[in-house]
Amino acid sequence: MSVTFDQAVVFIILAVTLVFFVWGRWRYDLVALTALMLVFIAGLVPADQAFLGFGHPAVVTVAAVLVMSRGLLNAGVVDVLSRRLAKVGDRPTAQTATLTGAVVLCSSAMNNVGALALLMPVAIWMSRRSGRSPSLLLMPLAFGSLIGGLVTLIGTPPNIIIAAYRAETGAPAFGMFDFVPVGTAVALVGWLFIAVLGWRLTPKRDSANATEDLFEIENYISEVIIPETSKLVGRTIFHLTSQLEKETEATVVGLVRGERHIPAPSWYEEIQAGDILMVEATPEDLKALIDTTGFELAECKGDCKATLGSDEIRLLEAVVTMDSPLPGKTAASLHLRRDYGVNLLAIARRGRRLKRRIGQTQFIIGDILLLQGSEEALQATLKTFNCLPLAERKLRIGEPRRVLLAVGIFAAAMLLSALNLLPVQISFTAAAVVMVIVGLVSPADIYESIDWPVIVLLGAMFPLGHALESTGGAQLIAAQLLRLSEGISPMATLAVILVGTMLLSNVVNNAAAAVLMAPIAITLARGMGVSADPLLMAVAVGASCAFLTPVGHQSNALVMAPGGYQFGDYWRLGLPLSALVTMVAVPLIFWFWPLTPATIP
C-alpha cells in the first residue's frame, strides 16, 4: 500500500510531535497545540473542527474527575486512611504492602497523582522513622498509583479516552465497571508482586546518615551579635537583607532579643544593639557577612533547629513538580522573602543537598526545597508555584472533614453512570458542581484542581488522532499490523498492541498514547473482522503502565527527587512489572473480551 501525500504529512507531524514530547524542552500541551495548528494549515482538519476536541466527552469527564478528586481530598477521605497507615510498623514488606495497597485503592476511584501526593509524606515519614531510605517505598508507591487506575473508568484518563472511542465503533461507550475484570486482576497481581518481591529491586539509597533529615539545618545556622557601634542599629531587616543580597547568600531566619525568640522576623523589624541574629549561611558567606557589616560571631547556644520554628513558623519540604513555573528561575529573581514571606533555606537535588549558592541556583523539576515561614505564607507559596509538600518536621495529617458527604456525592455519581441513567460526563460534572455548592471545593479550587496542560493536550490531540484516521494513516499502520498478525495467534496480536502502547506511554503522556493508538486498534479490528473491544482494552492497559522511565507519567516524576532515583533506576522494578502486567492482562482480555466476529462501521 503506497503512502499518499496527506498520509506522509500527518506521519511527519506525528513523528516531530513525538520527538518533542520525548525531548521535553517545551511542555507537552504547547507541543500538542502546535501539532494541531500544523494539521490545520496542511488542510487535514477543517477550521470548524479544529477545536471540537475541547468539547469531547472524554475531556469534560477528565476535568470533572479532577474536581471531584479535589473534593475527596479536601474532605479528608484519604487522610482518614493515612492516619491508619502510621501504625503499620517498621518492617519494609509490611510498609510497602500497606502503602501500595492504599494507593491502589485510592487511585481506582480518584486521580492517581492526587492519591500519590497525599500518601508521599506518609511514606517519607515512615522511612525516616524506620531509619531507611525513602527510595524503598516511593517507587512502589508511584507504580501502585498507576496500576490502581486500571480498575475503573475514572481511574486514569486513558480509560476515559478509550471508553469514548468505543462509542465510535457503534457500540455503547465502556461503562464505569467494564474495566473491573481485567483491571482488578492486574492491580492485584501487580500489588502482590511489588509488596513481596518488587520493593527489593528498587535502588537502595542508604547512607551513613540515612536516619537524619535530608537537610541538617543546625550545621548551617550561626548566631551573630549586633554591637552598639554597628551602623545598622535602628535600620530594618529589609535594609540589612538588601545589603546582604549584594554580597552574600546569607539569610536571616531568626532574631533573639533578650528573652524573646522571634522566628522569621518581620521585614520591618528594627535592629537593636545587642540583638542576636540567626543566619543561615555557608562558612564563606558567614565570613563575608561579618566582614561587610562588622557583626560579631557568637556560638549557637542551645538547639538552633528548635528556635527556627514555633507554633506559627514552620519548616516544610516541597518538591518542584512538572507543572510548576519555578524551573529556570532562581530564588533571588523571585524575591521569595520580600514578596511571599518565605525563606528558602536549602535545595536538594537527586537526594543530595546542594552546597553552592542557592539564591543563584536555577530550579529544575524534581528539586526539593526547604522552606521556612508561617502556615499561611507556606500554603500560599506552594499554591502559587504548584509545588507538592513533602514531609514536615512533624508530620501533620489533617482531620477528616465531611467524609460521608464527599463519599456520598461521589458514590451517587458513579451509580448514575453505572446504571446508564446519565452519561458519565453529565453525572460527574453534576457531582463536581454539587461539591462546589456544599463547600467541599471552593470556587478558586475548581480551576486549580484541573490539570490544564492535560486538558489542552487532550483537546489538541483528538483532532490529530482523527486526522490520522481520516487520511488513512491509521489504516496503513493497521494493514502492516494485520500482515504481521497473519503469522501469529490472536492472543499474540493483543500482546503486540498492548506492548506497543506501553512502550509509547513511557516516552509520551499516557493520554496522548491512548489517543494515537485507539484509531489504529479500531482500524486493525475492522481489518480482522472482529470486535474492537479487546484491542481497545489492550490500549487502555498499555497506556496506563509506564513503568520504565520517569517521564512516562507524572507519578514517576514526582518520586524521582525524594527517592534520589536516577533515570535508569526505573527499569529495575519497571521491566519485570511490565512483563508481569502483559502476561496477566493479555489472557484476561482474551477471556473477558474475546476476538469474536463483529460488524464495525
Q: What is the pLDDT of residues 231-274, one digit of tens each?
A: 888 888 877 777 766 667 677 777 888 777 777 777 778 888 88
Kindly state the cell numbers that stand for 369: 526545597
First-to-last alpha carbon distance for the chain, in angstroms, is 22
Tally of CA atoms within 13 A in the half-sphere of 154 that contains its CB:
28
At residue 420 the predicted structure's pLDDT band, cuts being 50, 70 and 90, is: confident
Q: Copy the grid coordinates of residue 409.
A: 456525592
Separation between Cα atoms, residue 436 and residue 445, nearest integer Å = 9
Nearest Cα neighbor of 151 from 119, 113, 107, 193 is: 107
Grid cell of 212 as nine digits: 537524619
Q: What is the DSSP string of 383-420?
A: HHHTEEEEEESS---PPP-SHHHHHHHHHHHHHHHHTT
**Element spanning 600, H or E:** none
Instruction: Compute CA 340 distance to the chain's CA centroid, rounded to the nearest angstrom.
Output: 24
Rg (CA), the chain: 27
Residue 414 is predicted with a pLDDT of 83
pLDDT over 70 percentage in the chain: 85
Packing angle of the helix pair 77-85, 112-130 (nearest 10 deg): 20
- In eight-state DSSP terms, residue 488 is S
- The amino acid sitting at 36 is L
Between CA 102 and CA 51 the distance in angstroms is 38
Dist. CA 214–CA 380, nearest whole Å? 24
Q: What residues contact residue 229 under an 8 Å CB cut-off, 6+ apart? A: 294
Which of helix, strand or coil describes residue 265? coil
pTM over 0.75: no
Q: Which comes out higher in pLDDT, residue 210 or 417?
A: 417
CA 19 vs. chain centroid, Å, equals 22
Q: Across the chain, what does the average pLDDT equal?
A: 81
* Predicted pLDDT of residue 104: 93
pLDDT score of 463 more than 90: no
Alpha helices in 545-598 (DSSP H): 554-558, 560-563, 570-592
Q: What pLDDT is attached to residue 475?
A: 81
Name the more confident of 27 and 209: 27
Phi/psi at 347 (5° precision): -130, 135
Ordered domains of the chain (ranges, CATH): 5-206+407-592 (no CATH), 217-307 (3.30.70.1450), 315-392 (3.30.70.1450)
Give the integer Cα–Cα distance in Å for 57 and 427: 12
